[in-house]
């Protein structure tokens, strides 16, 4: 009975295994304590890794990896059965397994420092394997407060966080979805290349486009450089009307299929409760035009937009993102080891190479100039998403580097971007954060 306090006391008094970042950095560990529970769960850099470790508490259950790997960490998993028998026979205190994550401390710290107090999230992936190199969300919380042996104080700390209007307990990186804005133009561009178009194919780019079947006009937020421009130029300056026309030409089935090849409409990163990003069903032409530029009902997590860049960077192959590399018994024997897995071929290698070059033009000459890294060729795409006229826009940036041998793909969202609505918010606010993360990795 989980409600039985003696059962709960016994579990809370266990010597849980550690959760480790790359380089064996302990991000959750257990230390002896001089109270009735004997062992205290401690988070050395609590706020920095809270979204990954989650918390382990007496009254408020657990979240994050503490929850997903509870049986292994507590030492009650079937794989540790023999170990438990040996411990019992030798009268040794049972010890849990440790969980080795893929998180790289210096990349995680760079992401957290660059995001600062801005509300938002950062995800960094290894394009070749799918390993999550950094996963940051802001505002965050200190899991030590909820793991306290002062049960009353821990309960109050949890209630305070749960009722906070800024939602510090939310995993904005993998469990929240937002309108992706112009970062979604990468998906539309990929669909256009799959349809036989080239980077130099020309598209109508009027100053404003009347949405089919309505009296509403879609404006551009930049000077597109002409009324008929190449797809490369349209991506470089993030031209709304060109991409809306491209989407209308491609049709909703092609666009939806391309989005799903990049991972939309499927859950990812189940270890951290990741949710599915969404591409809408059954649209009229006006809704299709808006969806082509990442508006209407298109919704994506930062993890999903990092996956789009990662697949493009990896010559079109999308790898399954993962955050746990292995689970090790107390004697360091591997109990579980992750095997890299391909999710899909989102693009042909030839088309992916062309889109890589187009993304490099966005950074070297276009809206993504703030992501430039000295001596490194970077590919990227800005986005400014407006979900509601009453609220400030979301600033997005997604990128990868280096161009010739990608080692990292990044997505950044800053909620409530405090700049004029028609500004390229992603370029101004989110791109410098992505740059800091890429520099830490390279």
Query: How far are the Cα atoms of 182, 194, 337, 420, 429 from residue 115, in angstroms, in the given order?
Result: 20, 35, 32, 20, 9
223-240 pLDDT tens trace: 999 999 999 999 999 999
pLDDT of residue 5: 76
Is it the case that residue 332 has pLDDT exceeding 90?
no
Contact 197, 319 (CB under 8 A): no
Most confident of 6-10, 102-106, 413-417: 102-106
CA–CA gap between residue 423 and residue 419 (Å, rounded):
7
- pLDDT at residue 219, as a whole number: 94
pLDDT at res. 87: 60
Tens digit of each residue's pLDDT (9 = 90 or more) over 284-300 = 999 999 999 999 999 99
**Cα gap 424→46, rounded to integer Å:** 34
Shortest CA distance to 18 belongs to which of 80, 98, 76? Answer: 98
Give the residues across from 131 on adjacent strands.
322
Measured N-to-C along each axis, helices 185-194 and 240-250 cross at an angle, to the nearest 10 degrees, of 40
pLDDT band at 76 (very low <50, low <70, confident <90, very high): confident
| Per-residue pLDDT, 418 | 66
Which parts of 163-251 fold into alpha helices (H)? 185-194, 231-237, 240-250
- Tokens 């960094």 correspond to 124
SS3 call for 432: helix
pLDDT at 75: 86
Catalytic residue among 148, 182, 238, 399: 182
3-state secondary structure of 391: coil
Rg of the chain (C-alpha set): 23
User: What tokens does 145 get?
Assistant: 């407060």
In this structure, how many other beta carbons lie within 10 angstroms of the beta carbon of residue 151?
13
DSSP run (H or E) holding 151: helix 151-162
What angle separates helix 302-313 from helix 185-194, to the nearest 10 degrees?
40
Whether the predicted pLDDT of 37 surpasses 80: yes
Residues 6+ apart with CB under 8 A from 211: 217, 218, 244, 285, 286, 289, 290
Residue 15: Cβ-neighbour burial (10 angstroms; 0-12, 13-18, 19+): middle
Longest dimension (CA), the chain: 80
**pLDDT at residue 36, as a whole number:** 87
412, 425 Cβ separation under 8 angstroms: no
Find out whether the peptide bond into 402 is cis, omega within 30 degrees of 0: yes
Q: What is the pLDDT of residue 431?
A: 93
Q: How far apart are CA 47 and CA 141, in angstroms?
A: 5
> What average pLDDT score do residues 210-214 get?
96
Query: Is the per-residue pLDDT at 341 higher than 70?
Result: yes
Residues facing 413 on adjacent strands: 121, 396
DSSP codes of every residue in 114-151: HHTTSSEEEEEE-TTT-BEEEEEEES---HHHHS-S-H
> DSSP assignment, residue 373?
B
Q: Is the pLDDT of residue 84 over 90?
A: no
Report the pLDDT value the prediction gives residue 433, as an integer from 0 to 100: 96
Place 93 in a pLDDT band, splitting at 50, 70 and 90. low
Q: What are phi and psi of 198, to 5 degrees?
A: -120, 170
The string of DSSP codes covering 31-65 is EE-SSTTSEEEE-TTHHHHHHHH--B-SSS-B-HH
* 3-class DSSP state of 110: helix
Rounded to an integer, what distance in angstroms lies between the CA atom of residue 312 and that of residue 346?
8
List the one residue out of 65, 69, 67 whose CA is nearest residue 80: 69
**Is there a catalytic annotation at residue 182?**
yes
Is the pLDDT at 421 greater than 60? The verdict is: no
pLDDT of residue 388: 64
Query: Cβ neighbours of residue 6 under 8 Å, at least 6 residues apart?
Result: none
Secondary structure element (H or E) that encloses residue 310, with its range: helix 302-313
| pLDDT the model gives residue 170 | 95
């Amino acid at each position: 009975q989980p409600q039985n306090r003696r059962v709960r006391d016994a579990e809370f008094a266990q010597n849980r295994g550690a959760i480790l970042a790359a380089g064996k950095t302990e991000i959750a560990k257990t230390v002896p304590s001089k109270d009735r529970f004997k062992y205290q769960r401690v988070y050395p850099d609590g706020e920095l890794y809270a979204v990954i470790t989650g918390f382990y508490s007496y009254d408020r259950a657990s979240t994050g990896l503490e929850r997903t790997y509870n049986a292994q960490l507590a030492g009650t998993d079937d794989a540790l059965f023999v170990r438990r028998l040996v411990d019992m026979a030798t009268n040794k205190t049972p010890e849990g397994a440790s969980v080795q994550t893929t998180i790289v401390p210096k990349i995680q710290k760079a992401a957290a420092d660059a995001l600062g107090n801005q509300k938002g999230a950062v995800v960094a992936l290894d394009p070749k394997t799918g390993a999550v190199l950094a996963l940051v969300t802001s505002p965050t919380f200190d899991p030590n407060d909820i793991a306290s042996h002062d049960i009353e104080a821990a309960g109050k700390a949890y209630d305070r966080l749960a009722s906070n209007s800024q939602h510090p307990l939310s995993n904005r990186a993998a469990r929240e979805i937002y309108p992706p804005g112009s970062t979604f133009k990468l998906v539309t561009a990929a669909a256009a290349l799959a349809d036989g178009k080239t980077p130099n194919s020309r598209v109508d780019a009027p100053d404003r486009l009347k949405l089919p079947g309505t009296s509403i006009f879609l404006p551009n937020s930049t000077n597109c450089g002409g009324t008929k421009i190449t797809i490369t130029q349209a991506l470089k300056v993030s031209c709304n009307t060109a991409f809306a026309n491209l989407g209308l030409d491609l049709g909703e089935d092609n666009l939806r299929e391309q989005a799903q090849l990049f991972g939309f409409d499927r859950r990812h990163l189940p270890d951290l409760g990741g949710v599915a990003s969404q591409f809408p069903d059954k649209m009229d032409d006006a809704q299709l035009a808006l969806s082509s530029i990442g508006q209407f009902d298109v919704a994506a997590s930062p993890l999903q937009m990092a996956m789009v860049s990662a697949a493009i960077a990896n010559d079109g192959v999308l790898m399954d993102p993962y955050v746990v590399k292995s689970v090790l018994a107390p004697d360091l024997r591997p109990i579980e080891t992750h095997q890299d897995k391909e999710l899909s071929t989102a693009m042909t290698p030839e088309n992916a190479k062309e889109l890589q070059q187009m993304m490099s033009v966005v950074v070297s000459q276009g809206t993504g100039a703030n992501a430039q890294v000295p001596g490194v060729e970077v590919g990227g795409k800005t986005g400014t998403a407006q979900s509601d006229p009453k609220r400030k826009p979301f600033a997005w940036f997604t990128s990868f580097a280096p161009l010739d041998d990608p080692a990292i793909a990044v997505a950044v969202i800053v909620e409530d971007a405090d700049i004029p609505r028609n500004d390229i918010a992603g370029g101004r606010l989110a791109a410098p954060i992505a740059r800091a993360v890429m520099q830490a990795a390279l």
